[in-house]
Structure 1
Amino acid sequence: MKIHFFYYTIILFFLSPYVFWSQNTINGNILDENKEPVFGADIYIEQLHIGTTSNESGMFTLDNIPNGTHKLSISFVGFNTENLEVQIKSKETILEVSLTPSVFHMDEVILSAPFNKLQSENVMKIESKSMEILKKAGAPTLMQSISNIPGVAEITTGTGIGKPVIRGLSGNRVLVYTQGVRLENQQFGNEHGLGMNESGIESVEVIKGPASLLYGSDALGGVLYLNPEKFAYQGETKVDLSQTFLSNTLGSNTSIGFKTSKKKVKFIARGGFNSHADYHIPDGDRVTNSRFTEKDFKTGIGLNLDQFVTEFRYNYNQSEIGIPEGIEEQTTSRSPALPFQDLNTHILSLHNHFYLNKSKIDLNLGYIVNNRKEFEDEHDHGDEEPDFQGGEEEEHESEEAALDMKLKTLSYDLKYNLVKMGQFETIAGLQGMYQENRNFGEEILIPDAITNDIGLLLTSTLSINDKSSLQGGVRYDHRSLSSSDFEKEDPDFPSQDITIAGLDRSFSNFTFSLGYKNVFFDKITSRINLASGFRAPNLAELTSFGVHHGSNRFEVGNPDLESEYNFQLDLSLEYGNKHLEVFANGFYNKLDNYIFANPTGEMIDNYQAFKYVQSDAKLYGGEFGIHLHPHPFDWLHLESTYETVIGEQISGDYLPLIPANKWANTIRVEFKGTEKFNELYAALVLDSFLEQNKVSLNETATPAYNLLHLRMGANLSLQKLNIGMNLSFNNLLDETYISHLSVLKADLIPNPGRNIVLGLNFKFL
């Protein structure tokens, strides 16, 4: 398969004749429970990228709507979100919508699920958080922000490298989607971070559990779905600037965006730049070479033609990330010392929707180029004195990378939304991926290889009534993997090389999902889901032979590994009224052929040797929470959540990299304020991490610790300018601690101390 197909497709769609523009219009009126007009409500049709706001009379107009059935979302702070299914048959459609009050949060339309329903309507429980809310935590990176979602943690190497953990599973077991396409960036290593910038991301959705039915292999443990920033509403042009300062790393995160929208064409562009020095620990020392810089650019174009909508997006991300190895030279330099990573990622996505009156075809194409380079100590000239005025950086640029991998991934996703029959909806799909890995450096972690995926899926949902829904589906996947022979240095005879034989393997599997949702007494929502998943072994697990510096061990692959399979049961209960919200999510996850690195008891090349083996395993636990909004103290919110996961092998030994149990408690106050000075809030957060003594053979226990955070903010509304202000004091008491999922734990290097974070967001109206 040739990747040129992707470019030809882009040219085809963007040079298509501008035939006839659709002239259908939706006119509506938004009212509250007292039949009073709602001013400023957001009205949006996600797949058309068309939106507007209601005026002082509660009225709105949406133009350029193609024939067919569309899901229209109406949201406003303090009210429940309405997700209406509107069928366009004539030139003008008239709606009247009444909103009902909600004191807790706005319901979100879930895009990672196949039928794009509100979370309250979904059969499967999916966590959704807007980036606006996540940013208030004052985290320096996107991954640290996401780790505040219950059930999600991160494996860290300093502050610059973090990778997602969902209910104890990580690496290739968690699939990341961005711009609607799967992100592939050599995610097999613990020191290979998420590789995404928060700039230009609208919201984050987390599927906690097997999602192979929707996404195929590598979604065995769950999916992290990053939704891109929306286009501007019709007829609007917006400019914004965000600036964040972080005291601990002397860090600066900058983002500037521009977007404009006409009836026919939409455009968006955003640039981001992050720069951080080494982080300091509570005793005042800085962790050498934990510094990092990141540049990010995102842009997109949307077109609405008659019966056809297309959206093209592009993201370029470049980062230099130091790999910390101890507490040595104390400096505030931002240029990485050796060893460090240089990462370049290009992400192109093209989303197309063809409306066929009562049915719809979606075609999504993605192309990703990821170039990962690592520069190591042994490649330094050594005798030269570093020039802290820029000579060190110039020297790095002249060095050749020890590790230089280029990964190219072309993905496709074709879905046919069949004609809806009453309350019965069905989607049939074809998904696949063509991936090519090439090495250009001296060091080879994984060989040159070609991976081909293809999958067929069928999923349906049935709305039995307004309280009960049933959803299920089945899928078949096939993955073929072929790799080349490659040579590695023999640790027993350094002057000789040994040959690692190439592979030619294939993996196939059926997966299924079945879920049921029901509402009792109009207050209690229950969900039960059964799902299976699978993951084919990755190249590192199959072919490794050498020192993995990120984990300080000699790893030996196993070419005979089989696919992992799992079966998970999820139970969810939610209760809510005007003043109280309670939830309980429990899961049991059975894994067959779980792959992990097992110590052999030998020393190779002065490192402890680990070989990849397989064993059956299980994980179980859940998330539990309560949110109290006591009357008559409408400004007060009390929240408490507890999350736990236990991972065990069939032998009784524990699995590695299982996060510690966490209990989070929040006291938050919110005030509307005045017309100019509004949306005031303050929050005191106590995160309690319990002792983690259920550890694998190659881990040590982690003691309990508590982290106190203080957060506050407000909004200043001027005539042509809106200024959002956030101030956070993270680890307020400067607690010394080491996270159980820190890669630096083996060297007894603490996590960051106190961090004062100031965020400013300027929106030019």
Structure 2
Amino acid sequence: MKILPFLLVVLIAIGPYVGFAQQSQNYIVFGTVKGEKGDPLMAHIHIHELGKGAIADIDGNFSIPNLRPGTYHFHFTHLGYRSQTENIRVQSEDVRLSITMLESAITLQSLTIEANPFKNGPVEQSQSIEVIDRDYIEKNNTGTFANALEKLPGISTINTGVGISKPVIRGMSFNRIMVNDRGIKQEGQQWGADHGLEIDPFDVDRVEVIKGPASLIYGSDGMAGVINIAPGALPELGEIRGHVVSSYRSNNAMYGNTAMVEGNEKDVVFKARFTAQDFQDYRVPTDQFNYAGFVLPVYENRLKNTAGKERHFSLMGGVRKDWGKSTLTVSQFSQQAGIFTGAVGIPTAYSLRHNGDNRGIDYPRQDNKHLKIISNTTIQHNRNWLEIDLGYQNNRRLEESLPHAHGVGPTSEGNLALGLYLDTYTANLRYNKHVDDKNQTILGIQSSYMVNNQGGFEFLLPNFTSLQGGIFYFHEYRWKDNFIVNAGLRADGGRHIIQEHLQPIYERLTPTGQFDQRNPDIARTFYNLSGSSGMSWILNTHHNLKLNLGSSFRMPTPIELSTNGIHHGNFRHEIGNADLVSERSYQVDANYSYSKRNFLLGLSPFWGYYQDFIYLAPTGSFSRLPGSSTAWEYRQHNAVFTGGEIKADWIVFPNLSVSFAAEYIYNFNLETRLPLPLTPPLSFLGGVEYKIPNLGQVAQNLFVFLEYRYAAQQNRVDRNERTTDGYQLLEGGLGWRTLLWKQPLKFQLSGQNLTNTFYFNHLSRYRLLNLPEQGRNISLSLKIPIGIKH
């Protein structure tokens, strides 16, 4: 498998020759874009498969030359209008189009959706999908990528302080949701509550969140949903552009800077980015906390040793031709972050006292690096398209602490408590066939190979190798122009080979030469067959009804099969179960949307039955390992998940908008008759925004916003899980664009937890220590766009 990185480069090299071998007559697609009142629009036209497009002129006319015979997916977007998509078939002559776009004051309706594998429009896919762009992420950036998604209904996060977070979809996380970066599944020890998502928040241009069963297209781990991170549109021919963004957060004195440049020279495209963030210990609105019956101090309202620093980079290069496109992306996420001194071992008032250095990163701490090499290629084959995504990932996770705090003495590993080294190789192929105007099909193959090695004086996850693969077939049928149905089948197989682990035994801080078997050799093979079907009924231009039925699956992970050690992230001794079988779910998702020019309403109820649901449960006994408390083990029982989301956007006046979103999740363990752990509470998010388009060169596109979040108390908890009181939060801010010596500048000022509220996030790791979330924070950002060549 070590040959795969070489193959990535080879694919880039041979791509042009694949295209040239299929040379044929080229044609032009041209036409006009108008509004519903007949006024011409300078809309942006983009072809998904080629990554190229055009901008209509002042009369709404556009022309895209050099298109081979085939079927292309066109996007039509224009601010103030609903996005529109068309599948255009080019055969033996030029094609003329006449596009009419409907007005919409709802900003996100101008975004297209690509998560649907057939690349149809937002009303034509059968699943609930949320789409956000670069502007949304910049407006809601709180330091991590996962936290930028929290304002979407149905999305929550599990937090460890303020620099480490992971996404939750409808109450599920870890290995039940999938994060795809440029078509490759992110693999970074995501089973840990204290393991953040290794994604640079500045290097995300577009996100599509699929809520509900997605195993058919994406494979195991997609049973609760998928987060697709897609690159932005490639620059147009001859264009070179970039930007610099600087940000500051007052709560932990975080300084962040990122710089990007991208361009297109004769259809050779490139992009480069570098990001640096440094932050201090963060502040909480309390001066004490309770742990194990003791009241301990929080000096100067700061959590000691929660500072950190990050350094990230990404480089992309490729070609864009009439046969398709091919890019190679190399990126690395690098983070070093302290872990609150009271979160590992037994805290004392002395150990919590500050030494005066709020930026110091002491023990215990995390040191994480995630390297990715991703190749994305789209090749036209006859009139159809072949998509190839190849990836290599190297995840290095180091957890460091002082050995004596864990009942052992000096070790050969030094201060390395836990080292996890994961190499992942991924290959995905999809063949998209446009049969006719009513039928489209996709045949896909996916495979991954993982090698995990561990080190350190602690044990949690053994060495293992894992091979997984699947094949699927998906078909869409347009029964009528306003009624689209789809269905598909998928077959999967996987094998985990887990090595025995013998842990050294210490006595009075000295190794005895004896060993404790933490897990035996384990070899498990899994097979799964799944399927789904869905429909979208477009009643008229205002009403859309969707229904999706799916059977999803998830293979047990090596951590669930074999772990046997102290997981400091959860303050417990976790024990695996080598006899676990695959989870199976049967899910129903519905979505109703009502859309007018100034109003949007969406309702998304869901229900799912989960057979052999895997979860951690307390054994009722204390761990025999030093430095830990109770022992928990992985078990399987049947469970039910249900709930829903509602969202509404209303443009009350041309410059005044009001938004509302709510979500509720109910789950139930059918064996214990109790709720499942880590279930988000009922929550509401309301906002109001006022815009002033033009105040001269001093302030253009000025906006002011205020948001209110209410989270109900969570009393539906699992055995030995603490309840959480409800809370209310207030956030507000403003942003504007200005010109300084003809150079555009974009400012944003915002405040989070403006009332400095003392509250607990039910999904926060530090809630187990009775530590509240961060206090008041003021954020300031400056973006300087740079046009180098046009």
TM-score range, shorter chain: over 0.9
Q: C-alpha displacement at 1:379, in angstroms? A: 7.2
Contact 1:323 1:341 in 2 (8 A): yes
* Corresponding residue number in structure 2 for 1:234: 237
Q: Deviations over 1:240-299 (max 9, x none)?
A: 111111111101221111011134211111111111111101245111122221111112
The alignment status of 1:125 with 2:128, answered yes or no, reads: yes
Which of 18, 34, 48 is 1:46 aligned to? Answer: 48
Q: C-alpha displacement at 1:94, in angstroms? A: 4.1
SS at match of 1:443: coil
Segments of 4+ moved more than 6 angstroms: 379-382, 491-494
1:483-632 paired onto structure 2 within 5 Å: 483-489=498-504, 495=512, 496-499=514-517, 500-604=519-623, 605=625, 606-630=628-652
Cα distance, 1:545–1:680 mapped onto 2, change above 3 Å? same
Identity of aligned residues (%): 28
The alignment status of 1:641 with 2:641, answered yes or no, reads: no
CA distance in 1 between counterparts of 2:378 and 2:649 reads 39
CA distance in 1 between counterparts of 2:65 and 2:333 reads 35
CA distance in 2 between counterparts of 1:50 and 1:177 reads 23
Q: C-alpha displacement at 1:448, in angstroms? A: 1.2
1:183-198 paired onto structure 2 within 5 Å: 183-198=186-201
Q: Deviations over 1:403-451 (max 9, x none)?
A: 2221111111111112422311110111111111112433332111111
* Corresponding residue number in structure 2 for 1:13: 12
Cα distance, 1:381–1:744 mapped onto 2, change above 3 Å? closer
CA distance in 2 between counterparts of 1:492 and 1:554 reads 20
Q: Deviations over 1:456-506 (max 9, x none)?
A: 101111122232111111101101110111112569998432222111101
* Corresponding residue number in structure 2 for 1:393: none
Which of 473, 491, 494 is 1:476 aligned to? Answer: 491
Q: C-alpha displacement at 1:24, in angstroms? A: 4.8
Structure 2: runs of 5 or more not aligned: 287-299, 343-351, 408-412
How large is the RMSD of aligned CA atoms in angstroms?
A: 2.3
- Of stretches 451-460 and 303-312 in structure 1, the one that deviates more from structure 2 is 303-312
SS at match of 1:119: coil
SS at match of 1:121: coil
CA distance in 1 between counterparts of 2:363 and 2:701 reads 45
Q: C-alpha displacement at 1:236, in angstroms? A: 1.2
1:174-185 paired onto structure 2 within 5 Å: 174-185=177-188
Q: C-alpha displacement at 1:12, in angstroms? A: 4.2
Q: How many residues align?
A: 746
* Corresponding residue number in structure 1 for 2:385: 360
SS at match of 1:469: strand
Q: Which amino acid aligns with 1:252?
A: Y
SS at match of 1:78: coil
* Corresponding residue number in structure 2 for 1:754: 776
Q: Which amino acid aligns with 2:564?
A: F
The alignment status of 1:442 with 2:457, answered yes or no, reads: yes
Cα distance, 1:49–1:331 mapped onto 2, change above 3 Å? farther
Which of 313, 333, 337 is 2:358 aligned to? Answer: 333
Q: Deviations over 1:49-99 (max 9, x none)?
A: 213333334344445544321111111110111212222346854444332
Cα distance, 1:489–1:547 mapped onto 2, change above 3 Å? farther
Q: Which amino acid aligns with 1:178?
A: D
Contact 1:730 1:754 in 2 (8 A): yes
CA distance in 1 between counterparts of 2:159 and 2:121 reads 33
* Corresponding residue number in structure 1 for 2:293: none
- Of stretches 576-585 and 8-17 in structure 1, the one that deviates more from structure 2 is 8-17
Contact 2:403 2:457 in 1 (8 A): no
Q: Deviations over 1:679-738 (max 9, x none)?
A: 221111000010000011121110011000112111225685322211111111111111
Contact 2:141 2:147 in 1 (8 A): no
Q: Which amino acid aligns with 2:113?
A: I
Cα distance, 1:381–1:446 mapped onto 2, change above 3 Å? closer
Q: Which amino acid aligns with 1:142?
A: F
* Corresponding residue number in structure 2 for 1:392: none
Q: C-alpha displacement at 1:332, in angstroms? A: 5.2
* Corresponding residue number in structure 2 for 1:411: 426
* Corresponding residue number in structure 1 for 2:291: none
Contact 1:341 1:372 in 2 (8 A): yes
* Corresponding residue number in structure 2 for 1:661: 682
Q: Which amino acid aligns with 2:640?
A: K
Q: Which amino acid aligns with 2:35?
A: D
CA distance in 2 between counterparts of 1:492 and 1:548 reads 22
* Corresponding residue number in structure 1 for 2:203: 200
CA distance in 2 between counterparts of 1:188 and 1:695 reads 21
CA distance in 2 between counterparts of 1:753 and 1:201 reads 27
Q: Deviations over 1:621-660 (max 9, x none)?
A: 1101222223xx2111121111010121003111000011
Structure 1: runs of 5 or more not aligned: 383-397
CA distance in 2 between counterparts of 1:686 and 1:52 reads 40
CA distance in 1 between counterparts of 2:504 and 2:613 reads 29
Q: Which amino acid aligns with 1:104?
A: I
CA distance in 1 between counterparts of 2:507 and 2:638 reads 34
SS at match of 2:191: coil
Q: Which amino acid aligns with 1:738?
A: F
Q: Which amino acid aligns with 2:499?
A: S
